[in-house]
Structure 1
C-alpha cells in the first residue's frame, strides 16, 4: 500500500477521504468491529443508540463539509437549534440578531442572573475579543472566572462551567483558559465568520449513520478500504517505508510507504515506533492525564419527552458537575433520554440503577407527555436504563498542557487525532481538521518523492 491510516475514528476517516479524493487508495486499519471511534452507533435494548452522546455546533465547518462530500446530508441527519440554556437556575437564548449583538443580547436578556453579573459577562467577552481570544498558558478557567468577577455566580455555574466541561471534559480548577478561549472564539465569537456558528446540531440518527458509515462506503468506492477488527501490534521502519504488524494468530504484516497514526493519545504512545524522532512525542504523552464521560440512557414511555431538545440538570451527587440531557426522539428513539456527565466525580461510585434514578428525578420538571405543555407531576416509570462509560474518553485539557510541535515525526510517519489539533480540546471537529492536515502532509511527501 502507498499509505495506511491506523485508526478509523473521525480523524482517520477524514484523512482517508482527502487521500482518496486526491487519487490515492488508502488502507484504514481499525481495531474495533466498526468505524467511528468514540462517536459511533451501538445497539442497546434493541435500539440504535450511540456509544456516547455528542453535540455538534454550527462552527464545525470541516465536519459538515466532509459529510456533504460523502453523501451524508447535514440538513437531513442533524437538527439545528439556536443556542439556548434551559437549567434549574438560568434561562438563556440567543435572539435573532446579527452577531455579535446576538450573544450580547442573549447574555443581557438571560433570566436568572443579576444585572451586575450580566454586564460583567459582556465585559469579559469583549475583553477576550480584544485579547484575540487568547489567554496565558498557565491560566485556568477558574482563574479567569475569578479575575472577571464571575466566579460563584449563576452564569459561572450554568453557562461557563457546563460549556467548559462539555468542550474540555476537564474541571474548571485545572482546565486551560487558553483552550477554552479558543472554544469561545470558534463558537460565540464566530458568528460574523460562520453563519449559525453557535447553533446546536443534534444528530437525527445514530452517529454511525451521520458520518463513519457513509465515509467508509465513499472511501471503498474510490479504491480505498476500511478494514475493521484489524488491531495493530507494532509499527517499525522498513526498507521502503513502514512495516505494520497486526495482532492475531495469522501474524499478518502490511508494508506501506507512508503511515498516518490516527488514534487516541494513549494508544499512540504504545504504537509509536522506537526511533529517536518519536521520543519527544512519547515523552509528551507520558504526562497526559485522562477524564471519563458517562452517557446514561433512560428508557421511558414513547409518549414522553423533554420540553426542549436539550436541558441541563444538576449532577446526580452534590459535588458532581451539571449533566446535559438529550431527547433522542428526533433520532428515532422516542421516550429515550441520553444523560451526559463529564469528568470524574462522585457519580462514578453510584450503582447504575441509583444513578439512573437520581438523573430521572432531576430531569422530571422538564418532562412532558405528548401534546401537553405542563410538566409531569410525578416521575414516570423507568422501563430500562443503560450506563456507557468511556473511562479515558478524552485527554484532560489542563492549563500548560503540551501538544505535539509537529505532526510529521519521520519521513512518511504522520500524526492525526484531536490531541494533535492545538489549541482545540478533544472535539469531533478538532479530530476532523487534524485528519485533513495529516492528509495534506501525506500528499506533500508524495509530491516531494515524485
Structure 2
C-alpha cells in the first residue's frame, strides 16, 4: 500500500516536469530536444525548420557549442536551420563542416546583432541624411535622429532581493535564463526613427531597408510574424537564397538563372499583364478584414533611375513579387509574396488545416513550393539579388557621397549588370548642387 501511495504522489510531479520541459518547445520536437530542453527555445520558424531535419541533427547542433554560450540552439536563424537542410539534401558529406562553421561564427554573429539592436536607428538616419542631401532635400530633421542614450539596463531585481526569496537551484537557473533574455532583448526597438514632428518628412517611415535579416527575424516576432505590420513596408522576409533553395529544391543552375534575370532586369509577371495564378491563399487568411478572393502574383516594375526621392524609394522593391486580388476597389488588399511565405511558415494550418501534424504540414507546404509556386520562388530569388544590388549602391553612396554613376558602374559587382534602360545622370553629385533645397515628398506604403 505504501508503495502504491508513493507512486500516486509522483504522477502529478512527473507530468508537471514534462510540461515545464516542453515550455516554449514544439511538442513534435519533444524527443529531439530533451538533452537541451533547458535552453531558450528558438522562434516558431526555427522549430518548424528543425522538424524538417533528421531527429538526431538538433543534438549535433547542440553539441557543437556544448557548455560554451552563446549556444547555437538559441541563436541560429531560420535561414541557418534551412541551410543545414540544404546541405543535407545536396552535399551531406559537408554537414559536419557546416555545423562547425556556424559554431565558429556564432560569437561574432551575436556581437554584430547586439550592435545592430542598439544602433540601427542611427545607422539608418545617417544613410538617409546622405541620400536626401544628394537629391537636394532638407535633411536637418535627421541631425539628431537615432541619437538615443542607451544606458545599460540594470538587473530587474537586486541580488539581495533574490537571495531572500530562497529559490531552489532549478528556480534560480530558470530565473537567470529569463533575466539574460530580458537583457539581450533590451535594445530591440520597433519604433520609427525619432524625428522632428514639425518637419514634413516626420510623417514618413524610414525608407532605407538596411536592417539585417537577423534583426528582422527578431523584430517580426513582436507583430505575430506579420512583416507588413513593421514600421516600413520595405522589409524582406528573413529567408536567404540558400533557405529558398532548401524549401523549394532549387538547383545551383536555377539560382544562376535568377542572378542573370536580376542583372538584366527581367520581369516575368509585370502588372500590365495578367498575373500568375498559383492558387495562393486569399489575403483574408493572413489578416482579418482583407479580401477573401483569390489573389494573383505580379512583380513590381523597374523604374527609370530616380530623378527625385519619390522614385528612389520605389527602387528598393524593383522586381519584387507581390499578391493582389483582381477586385475593383480593393487597393489595400496587397501583400509581398515573401511576407505571405514567412507568415504561412509560422501558421501552417493556413495551407493544410487537415494534416495530422506540423511535420506533415511543412512537407505539404514544401511540396507546394516545389511545384505550383516554384515560378514565384524563382522570381523571389531574382528579387533578392536585385535588392542586394540596390543596397550595395546605397553603401557606396554613403561611403563616398561624391561618387559618380560611372564610378559605381565600374565596380566589380556592377560591371555585368544591364542598367542601360535606367537614367544614370541623376546620380552625379555635381547636378545636385544646383537644386534648390526641398522638403521630402510623402511616401506610400507600397513604395
Higher relative contact order (CA 8 A, sep 6+): 1
TM-score w.r.t. length of structure 1: 0.25
More strand by share: 1
**Structure of higher CA gyration radius:** 2
Indicate the structure with greater helix content. Answer: 2
| TM-score (normalizing by structure 2) | 0.25
